[in-house]
Amino acid sequence: ERTIRFGEHSAVPLIGQGTWFMGENPALRAQESAALRAGIDLGLTVIDTAEMYADGGAEEVVGEAIRGRRDRVYLVSKVYPHNAGGERAIAACERSLKRLQTDYIDLYQSHDDDRDTPLEETLAAFDALIKAGKVRAIGASNYQADRLEEALRVSESNGLARYETLQPEYNLYEREG
């Protein structure tokens, strides 16, 4: 089993389960949840989701799948770009936690860069979520290199938590990541 280590966190499996397009059809929810549970049983313990996927529906599927198994899963979720700053990010995280039926997210990422939201606002909100124990690590998803570099400078100059990961889009259909 290949793993990756970052920051102060334990090693996590290099390959996980994605949930894009899950939660869109209520008739498939039980099947989707069962598929995630089967993956967990086979060692695919990283689960990636986002509030953007089915407008929270994928997070609900994940919540069902990890019930009773939370301690075995490394949970990744992402905040909508328009929710990425200030109180919006904190409220979005609280909604995600409720849908996921957990009290913390292992890795919380800014999903797609919203250049209209100052990075200081996003990073301050993420820093507050870490300090509150709601989030263990933060990252960026689908950011361009220049914006990631800027985020790292903002973190350092303001004493805020810093992005520990960059998740490019990479899946069976998109192989350029």
Q: Which residues are tagged catalytic?
A: 53
Are the CB atoms for 42 and 73 separated by under 8 Å? Answer: no
CA-to-CA distance for 160 and 163, rounded, in angstroms? 10
Residue 41: its H or E element: helix 29-41
Residue 94 corresponds to which tokens in the numbers above?
Answer: 């609280």
CA dist 158 to 19, 81, 123, 154, Å? 34, 22, 9, 6
Token pair recorded at residue 172: 């069976």
